[in-house]
C-alpha cells in the first residue's frame, strides 16, 4: 500500500477507537449553579436547591439539606425539605430539626424517615420534611444560618460551610429575590 492509503486507514482506525471511549462533558460555569429550575406550567416553576453542607466541628459530623418548592401564591402550599445526617455512630431516630436564619426559627414538620445506611465510614440517616412556602421565602432572607438537630433530647448545632454560604447568597439573588419581585405584581 502506498503512504496515502496507510494514512487514511490509520486515521479511520483512530476515529473508530476514539468514538469507543465514553464522552465526558467538561464542567462549565453554567452548570455549577447550586440550584435547578424546572418549568411546570404557565407562570409555575419548580426549584431544587441542591444539597448544602452544614458541619458540627466538635463531633466531626455533618448534615446536608436540600429544598424543593414551586413558586405559587397559595399560602397553604408546602416546600419539601430533605436532609441527611452523617454520623460515625448509628442514629435510629431524630427528635426534631430546626432551621435558623438571623435569629428566626423554622421547625420542620411532617418529617418522615426515608432510610438509614452506611455511607463510607459514616452512617447516613435521611429524612423528608415540610415547611410552608412563606417560611421558605423568609428563611432565605437571612445572612446567618444554623441548623439545630435534637437527638434523644440532646441539641446539636450545625454551621454552614463557606461554600454553603456562597450558594445561599447565589440562590437568594438568582431565585428568591425574583420570586418576591414577581409576587408583588
The string of pLDDT tens digits covering residues 73-85 is: 666 788 999 999 9
In tens, the pLDDT along 132-159 reads 988 999 999 999 999 999 999 999 999 9
Residue 80 in any domain: the answer is: yes
Output the pLDDT for position 32. 86
For the beta carbon of residue 134, count every other beta carbon within 10 angstroms: 12
Residue 3 in any domain: the answer is: no
When computed from its CA atoms, the radius of gyration of the chain, rounded to whole angstroms, is 23
Residue 109 in any domain: the answer is: yes
Residue 8 in any domain: the answer is: no
Residue 34 in any domain: the answer is: yes
Residue 17 in any domain: the answer is: no
For residue 131, what is its C-alpha cell?
Answer: 415547611
Output the pLDDT for position 29. 53
**In which domain, by residue range, is 134 found?**
27-183
Give the domain CATH number at 47.
2.60.40
Looking from the CA of 25 toward its CB, the CA atoms found within 13 Å total: 6
Give the span between the Cα atoms of 139 and 180, in whole angstroms: 13
Bridge partner residues of 66 (DSSP): 82
Distance of CA 59 to the CA centre of its chain: 22
Output the pLDDT for position 14. 45
Number of structural domains (the chain) is 1
Residue 171 in any domain: the answer is: yes
The answer to whether 34 and 167 are in contact (CB under 8 A) is yes
Mean pLDDT rounded to a whole number for the chain? 85
**How much is the pTM?**
0.79
Residue 21 in any domain: the answer is: no
Amino acid at each position: 500500500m502506498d503512504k496515502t492509503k496507510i494514512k487514511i486507514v490509520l486515521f479511520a482506525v483512530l476515529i473508530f477507537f476514539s468514538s469507543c471511549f465514553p464522552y465526558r462533558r467538561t464542567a462549565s460555569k453554567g452548570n455549577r449553579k447550586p440550584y435547578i429550575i424546572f418549568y411546570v406550567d404557565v407562570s409555575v416553576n419548580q426549584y431544587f436547591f441542591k444539597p448544602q453542607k452544614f458541619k458540627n466541628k466538635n463531633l466531626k459530623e455533618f448534615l446536608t439539606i436540600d429544598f424543593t418548592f414551586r413558586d405559587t401564591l397559595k399560602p397553604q402550599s408546602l416546600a419539601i425539605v430533605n436532609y441527611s445526617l452523617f454520623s460515625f455512630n448509628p442514629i435510629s431516630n431524630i427528635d426534631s430539626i430546626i432551621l435558623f436564619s438571623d435569629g428566626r426559627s423554622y421547625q420542620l414538620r411532617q418529617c418522615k424517615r426515608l432510610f438509614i445506611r452506611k455511607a463510607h465510614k459514616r452512617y447516613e440517616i435521611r429524612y423528608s420534611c415540610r415547611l410552608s412556602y412563606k417560611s421558605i421565602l423568609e428563611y432565605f432572607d437571612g445572612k446567618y444560618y444554623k441548623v439545630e438537630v435534637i437527638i434523644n433530647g440532646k441539641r446539636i448545632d450545625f454551621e454552614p460551610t463557606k461554600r454553603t454560604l456562597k450558594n445561599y447568597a447565589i440562590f437568594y439573588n438568582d431565585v428568591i429575590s425574583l420570586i418576591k419581585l414577581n409576587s408583588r405584581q
